Structure 1
Amino acid sequence: MADKRITVLQDYINAILTDSPHEKIRKRRRLQPGEDAPPRWNNFDLNQQRLVTELDAEYRIILASAKDDDQTIALLYKVADKVQDQLNEVLKYDPALIKHAFNVFINNHPAAIKLGLKTPSLKRISSVILLPGQSLPLGGLETKMVTSGVADPDFPNKNFAYTKDRQGELFIWMHKQMLARYDAERIAVGLDPVIPLDYHEPIPEGYLPNKHLLNFNENSTAADLQDKYDYRKPYSSINSPTNIANVDKWLQSINKSIDDGVFYNDPDKLGRTIDPDRTNPDILEDNEWKAKYGSLHAMGHIMVGGINGNEKVANALKEKKLRPPIGVILNVSIASKDPAFFRWHRLVDETFNRCIETTLKARTFTDGPDVVIKPDGMILAFKDQLEKVCPEGAHDGWQKFGQTHFAKIPATNELQTKMVPRNLRGPNNDIIKIEHVFPREFYYFFKVKNNTTKDAFDTAADKIVKEPAKKFVTLRVFIVPEVLAADRKQWIEMDKFKYELKAGEDAVIARSCELSSVIRKPAQKVFDDTPGDDFDNDYCGCGWPYHLLLPRGTRDGMKFKLYVYISDWNADKTYESTAEGSLSMCGRKIVDGRPAKYPDDRDMGYPFDRPYAGKSLQATFAKVVDPTIANARAIDELAISSVPGDYWLDNTAMRDFTIRWVDEFC
């Protein structure tokens, strides 16, 4: 297989999805005045999701006859040609729908994955949607928030044509993490954690998209309106009594089923109910389930996105039988720009938590491995400082240096972020400068003692004895703003990875922020806007940006806690899974053309997935946790008032640190 052929094919795919020049790109037809536009692409419309599935099936049929890689490449060109033809059917399809279907196909078909084909980043597909808008009213604390604009991967639907393992649980977990990250930013600017959306009442927060998305008026044509978005005024109301009534009914049904135990101990089933991904209309059970529970998650987006801020223009367009622009919350790539996105997802998350809080027993963590980690065995160090004391350590990520010179690691109690300029290309190929929060690169160092033993026979003593044994463990790393530490739902998962401890080993584990489960690339590339570079790979496959690894923090230094829980990998591992560690944010792994098993048998968010067993975080992870025993109060107070390292479970530890927002790293 010639690499050049793959490169040429990739260039063709890029050109289709970014509207870039290419020798195979034909002139596209546009809607003409007076022509009726098809329904605008809406990520949350079930009928359009079904259409995407049908288009994906058409593309797969074309590839079905491929016997080898050469035939596959030739047939992939035919798929791309078909996509071009469909993009010209402007009376039948919204172009954005066709591009989404093509994205789904390229990101999921085993043949495309095998060839290494990818879809361009959002920056290449449409840079203007990444330009920041503003929360309304202007000047409020909300306008100081740091939001990514691409933080919503919309699990489990976006870019996945078929069901992933634990799809419903992934949907809940990812949005739960986004809420925790958002609340950390709210605390930094002096706001309280986000509260659930009361969809019956006016929404205090408004949103104003950037000017390029607002460039429409009463004289706009259908073609002009396909990529525009409306604003939402503060204290505007949802204007669909039918949709509100449906949400009331669905929430009542879901909550009753939670109370009746229908979803007992099955977060995946509840997640799939809150966000159904049933595209086959012929399955009776699905229709009955959908009639009872509806599409709760999607309807929140639809209700808020349907509010027209510019009512005069909207009415004028309706008189011309044109559909007015929608809110950004209906575009899954930029939905999180709107503050109402987080308020709606807080309501969804609390519905999920109702199940967890009322039906699942608290964990007592009795199955941890026989290992020891202490707060003083958790070190943070900046990469640039490590380079100064041991330049050659870059070859192994300072693993050997940490093992042999633990006391000489240039430790820091303060992580840093700053705002970094970035160039985006505007609609007229002009350069537009924006800013993103960005972390100073750092490493974790964890000192872990392996006390695991196994039975062995001592021939000299003629008896069974214990001897050191190797142990596979999972390190689960979290952070949380100190003021939110008492709420298990506010802990942000930073990393989760497997490690082999040698028999009797007193190990030092070095872990780079670049290698964590949520990031995959060096920092410098994020802000590169090299002309012609179609693959800047700003984001990992699930949509979580590297530059949002850490919350921004504050100028004075915002207090956080770093927490590590070490679990037994033999209890964590998922049988039949070929992957190790965890794809914490998306679970995207395809083996033999099908989604692989999620490589962690624990509930997502473990050990913060269930209510605390004690009255506090400290008491929950104290060495003795039994709320029923007589001295439970004493244990609770002891764990709170004393050094955690002395009274906590040996396989877990926590330490304090701060995140400071600086002008320059130094």
Structure 2
Amino acid sequence: MPVKDKQDRILPLFEYVALDTSDKFGLRVQRDDKLRGLGVLGRGQIFSCFFEPHLKEATQLYEALISAETFDEFLELCHQARDFVNEGLYTYAVSVAVLHRPDCRGVSLPPLQEVFPDKFIPGETLNKAYYESTKIPEDEDVIHDMQETGNILDPEYKLAYYREDIGVNVHHWHWHLVYPATWRPEITGIVKDRKGELFYYMHQQMCARYDCERLSNGLPRMIPFHNFEEPMEGYSSHLVASINFMPYAFRTAGSTLQDTPECAVQDLERWRDRIIGAIQLGHVVDETGTEFPLDEETGINVLGDLIESSYDSVNREYYGSIHNWGHVLFAAIKDPDSRFQLNPGVMSDTATSLRDPIFYRWHRFIDDMLLEYKKSLPHYTKHQLGFTGVEIKSTCIRAKKTDEITTFFTKDELNISRAYNMARTGAIKIRYQHIDHEPFTYKINVFNKGSKTKEATVRIFLAPVKDELGNDIDLHTLRRLAIEMDKFKVALQPGDNVIERKSSESSVTIKDPKSLDELARGELADEHEKEFCSCGWPDHLLVPKGDEQGMKFHLFVMLTDRRMDAVGDHGKTGVCSDAVSYCGAKDQLYPDKRAMGFPFDREVDEDHLEKWLLPNMSNTIVTILHH
């Protein structure tokens, strides 16, 4: 069956998900036995893939959908499940299945922001857009501007454009689709390579980028969440769930974590102490008492799986699930025992949690635990860092001005017509603004002293020069603020080489996904072309905002020996490999043998970046200017 036909049959599964469509699909009275036991989480409730009972049911559904023997059987199961399974759980499970079924290759998931716009657009904006549509002829488009969710009385308001960015929240949602916490290779037949390390690195980069954004806006770097009894800053998302017309719970300033019936605050503290203890001892233990060393090669992956905690956790009963339950407890602050039947806060949902400032503080706390492990590893040697016979002569950024990147705000539109049946032919669109940057190109001059061609990996990072007080940031601190910008391979001919790489080719980012209308018109990737899997950092957020005076950043470039980096043929098929740095290559080995974040993932033995540089490295000061 052509990909276009499959796409046409899958798209209706995601339209009007909040509505009952049993008549449209002809729902059977008798359900397939594979769906027996589903429907525990009632419709109209907020689904959370952090909450263990929800995730257990979602896992049952996506495993049933993935194991369906034919594409037709898969669709039939989706149609049957749609109107009795919880709306969010259904969308999550079907999305996981579409991404992993071999017969769905080439099929693109519709943008989540068009399926559930209420996860991204304030409730008052949606309400006013609907009201406006009643006053305009039904064949005309309605375009309504998105309203702001705060004001300058809250210092964190300066970062609202970033935390509430649609692209960055969709990225987080999709990452957890590609790497479900409950993924079982023995059931699905697919191993998720270095999944625990990816969990660590992707979230670590989120924190580094958030701190760069804070410095760009004149705010201090965030204080990690570290005291489970501490009062927190307040937050209100202004989101209203369309499945029950209730707002996501807000958090008043001064709130503290509370016990829920399923998990106590003391459980989080106990799990933290056990994890820190294991790091200090240099090993973890399984249920039988067998010790597994936290070595240089696999230790970070073991800890990432354990902290999340995923199905691959070494000893879930003992080390717990500190990450997931932390999200649940933050979301339940207003109604911990559900006596008021409120919606949870945005921290419960992977598509909304990045809106809350506490998300970043929570993940910096998790990052701090993993940093303790990284501190235990020896410093990289010059042999590990070097590349014999390769020297970077110069590096620059080519844009309108050399070594200067301009950022600015631009407007975009979101069509919400496919989520709500408004009984009109004209579209209803929400106009919103987001940060963006001018296109630019890296130009790197490299000299190969050898007589043969050398295969190399180019690694590019960006890090701020000054801290919030205007002081130079030392290399020890700089490591944690370094954001990966790109990683790609090149062939170095003997003698001089000029490497040019466009910012739009970044291994970190993806371009905007195709809309539901575009997919319906057949605008999708061909079966044999690079597949678009929606996982990746949004291209418009590749560069930090900078400031109006011109904020200085280190542009760090490093070339490493591809022979030491390569992992065979894996990662070369082009399947979902457009944003490998944070998302890996779909269902293959991670296409880089080095530790994620190399060379900044470990402690260094120099205070200043310039003293640490080897000939295969370069550091250039560039400016990011915000208009």
- Normalising to structure 2: TM-score of the pair? 0.78
Q: Deviation per CA, 1:506-560, whole angstroms, max 9, x where unpaired?
A: 1111101111102343x8x8999979679799x9632411111111111111111
- Show the counterpart of 1:164: 192
Are 1:107 and 2:99 matched, yes or no?
yes
Against the structure 1 CA distance between its residues 536 and 111, is the aligned structure 2 distance closer, same or farther, given a 3 Å change threshold?
A: closer
Are 1:301 and 2:327 matched, yes or no?
yes
- Show the counterpart of 1:334: 352
Return the match for 1:189 from 196, 204, 217.
217
Are 1:276 and 2:309 matched, yes or no?
yes
1:224 Cα deviation from its structure 2 partner: 1.7
Contact 1:17–1:120 (Cα < 8 Å) also in 2: no
1:556-575 map, 5 Å: 556-575=549-568
1:42-81 map, 5 Å: 42-63=48-69, 75-81=70-76
Separation in 1, partners of 2:402, 2:20: 46
Contact 1:169–1:604 (Cα < 8 Å) also in 2: yes
- Show the counterpart of 1:289: 315
Against the structure 1 CA distance between its residues 650 and 19, is the aligned structure 2 distance closer, same or farther, given a 3 Å change threshold?
A: farther
- Show the counterpart of 1:143: 157
Separation in 1, partners of 2:42, 2:489: 56
- Show the counterpart of 1:471: 454
- Show the counterpart of 2:172: 153
Against the structure 1 CA distance between its residues 38 and 28, is the aligned structure 2 distance closer, same or farther, given a 3 Å change threshold?
A: farther
Against the structure 1 CA distance between its residues 230 and 560, is the aligned structure 2 distance closer, same or farther, given a 3 Å change threshold?
A: same
- Show the counterpart of 2:143: none
| AA at the equivalent of 1:474 | T
Q: Deviation per CA, 1:579-613, whole angstroms, max 9, x where unpaired?
A: 399954444434xxxx2111111000001010012
What is the identity percentage for the equivalent residue pairs of Structure 1 and Structure 2?
A: 26
Secondary structure of the residue that 2:270 maps to in structure 1? helix
Q: Deviation per CA, 1:608-643, whole angstroms, max 9, x where unpaired?
A: 01001223333333xxxxxxxxxxxxxxxxxxxxxx
Q: Deviation per CA, 1:40-63, whole angstroms, max 9, x where unpaired?
A: 421112233232222122223322
Structure 1, unmatched stretches of 5+, are: 30-34, 64-74, 216-222, 280-285, 386-410, 453-467, 622-648
Against the structure 1 CA distance between its residues 110 and 77, is the aligned structure 2 distance closer, same or farther, given a 3 Å change threshold?
A: same
| AA at the equivalent of 2:352 | I
Contact 1:495–1:518 (Cα < 8 Å) also in 2: yes
Separation in 2, partners of 1:61, 1:175: 30
| AA at the equivalent of 1:8 | D
Aligned residues: 539
Q: Deviation per CA, 1:106-150, whole angstroms, max 9, x where unpaired?
A: 01122212xx11211122212232236977785222101122353
| AA at the equivalent of 1:144 | K
Return the match for 2:87 from 65, 77, 95.
95
Structure 2, unmatched stretches of 5+, are: 30-40, 123-146, 184-190, 284-293, 468-472, 526-531
Are 1:174 and 2:202 matched, yes or no?
yes
- Show the counterpart of 2:465: 482
**Quick check: 80-89 or 194-203, which moved more?**
194-203
Secondary structure of the residue that 2:264 maps to in structure 1? helix
- Show the counterpart of 1:651: 616
Q: Deviation per CA, 1:409-455, whole angstroms, max 9, x where unpaired?
A: xx512101110011223566633221100110111111111112xxx
Separation in 2, partners of 1:212, 1:13: 23
- Show the counterpart of 1:6: 6
- Show the counterpart of 1:505: 495
- Show the counterpart of 1:643: none
Return the match for 1:244 from 227, 244, 265.
265
- Normalising to structure 1: TM-score of the pair? 0.74
Contact 2:509–2:536 (Cα < 8 Å) also in 1: no
Separation in 2, partners of 1:445, 1:160: 34
- Which protein shows a greater Rg? 1
Separation in 2, partners of 1:412, 1:21: 56
Separation in 2, partners of 1:94, 1:528: 22
1:26 Cα deviation from its structure 2 partner: 5.7
- Show the counterpart of 1:464: none
Contact 1:417–1:437 (Cα < 8 Å) also in 2: yes
Secondary structure of the residue that 1:153 maps to in structure 2? helix
Contact 1:448–1:507 (Cα < 8 Å) also in 2: yes
- Show the counterpart of 1:634: none
Contact 1:258–1:264 (Cα < 8 Å) also in 2: no
Secondary structure of the residue that 1:52 maps to in structure 2? helix
Secondary structure of the residue that 1:423 maps to in structure 2? strand
| AA at the equivalent of 1:561 | H
Contact 1:136–1:205 (Cα < 8 Å) also in 2: no
| AA at the equivalent of 1:381 | R
Separation in 2, partners of 1:211, 1:256: 40
| AA at the equivalent of 2:379 | A
Q: Deviation per CA, 1:289-346, whole angstroms, max 9, x where unpaired?
A: 11211001112111111112xx7xx99x836xxx310111111012110000001001
1:258-269 map, 5 Å: 258-262=279-283, 263-265=294-296, 266-269=299-302
Separation in 2, partners of 1:566, 1:204: 43
Q: Deviation per CA, 1:187-211, whole angstroms, max 9, x where unpaired?
A: 1122111111145334432221135
Contact 1:108–1:160 (Cα < 8 Å) also in 2: no
Are 1:443 and 2:459 matched, yes or no?
no
Against the structure 1 CA distance between its residues 536 and 179, is the aligned structure 2 distance closer, same or farther, given a 3 Å change threshold?
A: farther
Are 1:364 and 2:381 matched, yes or no?
yes
Secondary structure of the residue that 2:221 maps to in structure 1? coil
Greater RCO structure (CA 8 Å; 6+ sep) = 2
- Show the counterpart of 2:611: 619
